[in-house]
Amino acid sequence: MLDDRKLAVLRAIVEDYVSTNEPVGSKALAERHNLKVSPATVRNDMAALEEEGYITQPHTSAGRVPTDKGYRLFVDRLSQVKPLSAAERRAIETFLAGAVDLDDVVTRTVRLLAQLTRQVAVVQYPTLTRSTVRHVELVPLSERRVMLVLITNTGRVEQRVVELPEQVEDTRVAHMRAMLNACLDGCGLSSVPELVSDLPERLPPEDRPVVATILSVLLETLVERHDEKIVFAGAANLAGADFSTGLRDVLEALEEQVVLMRLLGETSSDTPAALTVRIGSENPYLRGTSVVAAGYGSGDNQLARLGVLGPTRMDYPVTMGAVRAVARYVSQILAAS
């Protein structure tokens, strides 16, 4: 049904349309790409492609524009991820190397990605649930208050103030801290509820209410932060582009953690680090945009996702190259720290 030349025509249409932002006609197409056939032939192919739903014309007697289906075919079969230039790779490396803590890594990453792709970049914070406890700290603030600090192996720090039901001396706090660390150190966060479930029972009765209070806050922290934090950058890049769904909708989606999460998508368990591309109507909520995302994380376990969001009409090979490269570098950084 679709011979090689028709595919070549589709590829050419996508490439031209992406670079010019104007519907591309048969004549211009035949000469710009050396297809070695006449415009008339191209027209026939275009008619076939349109018949199949890969391209469409905005109105009669205008050039053709790729449909979501067309982009999909292009991404899947007609294009190759374009690797970054050496200069770009160096820039990434040096820029990310300067990060001092997890917050900084994430902030730098999202800015870097935005600048590299000239789109809106989105980065999800490493998921708590898949990381492990590195340390639990109890800091006495006053007689009846302690601050609970949870440090994970990804460098993430969560803290909460705990109001204690009774007055507790510092030595007892220190003891509880030792207790907690002995119990939890190195364990996966998802197994924490299980591990602490019988902890109060193993303690002297007088400690139980206090420890129970602390544990309830700890568990609450785990649950609350279960839905993950997401940051974005490069909103200014939206100014130029035009979205079928208004600019307002896009900006609103960016500030809605939940929507953003859905857009980034879940890490598919089989090929965790692979690039995911969602084109136009394939996206939940935001149908006028495309999302290119990838998982990242230290070593084998994927911690979270990052990606960019842009108009359907984007340069997929380049964008995919940038996302993939950044995901890899961030993974390296996290693994090293």
Count of residues engaged in binding its own copies, rule: CB under 8 A: 33
3-class DSSP state for residue 236?
A: helix
The yes or no reply on residue 26 touching DNA (CB under 7 A) is yes
For residue 90, count other CB atoms closer than 10 A to its CB.
11
Q: Which of residues 265-324 bind its own copies (CB under 8 A)?
A: none
Residue with tokens 């050396």, as numbered in its chain: 34
Taking the alpha carbons of 281, 282, 285, 289 in that order, is the dihedral positive or negative? Answer: negative
Contact letters (x/-) for its own copies, 247-266, by CB under 8 A?
xx--xx-xx-----------
3-class DSSP state for residue 274?
A: coil
Q: Which stretch binds DNA (CB under 7 A): 53-61, 107-115, 145-153, 249-257?
A: 53-61
Do the Cβ atoms of 13 and 29 come closer than 8 Å? yes
Taking the least distance from each CB to DNA, the nearer of 33 and 82 is 33
Q: Which stretch binds DNA (CB under 7 A): 33-41, 71-79, 90-98, 281-289?
A: 33-41
Strand partners, 305: 295
Question: Considering only residues 19, 32, 47, 246, which one is a binding residue for DNA as defined by CB under 7 A?
Answer: 47
The yes or no reply on residue 179 touching its own copies (CB under 8 A) is no
> Element (H or E) spanning 142, and its range?
strand 133-142
Do the Cβ atoms of 94 and 38 come closer than 8 Å? no
The yes or no reply on residue 35 touching its own copies (CB under 8 A) is no
Shortest gap between Cβ of 1 and its own copies (angstroms)? Answer: 43
Shortest gap between Cβ of 330 and DNA (angstroms)? Answer: 42
Question: Considering only residues 19, 32, 53, 62, which one is a binding residue for DNA as defined by CB under 7 A?
Answer: 62
Do the Cβ atoms of 101 and 60 come closer than 8 Å? no
3-class DSSP state for residue 309?
A: strand
The yes or no reply on residue 60 touching DNA (CB under 7 A) is yes
The rounded distance, in Å, linking the Cα atoms of 308 and 113 is 8
> Element (H or E) spanning 135, and its range?
strand 133-142
Binding site for DNA (CB under 7 A): 5, 23-28, 36-41, 43-44, 46-47, 50, 57, 59-64
Binding site for its own copies (CB under 8 A): 100-101, 111, 134-135, 137, 139-141, 147, 149, 151, 155, 157, 159-161, 224, 233-236, 238-240, 246-248, 251-252, 254-255, 337
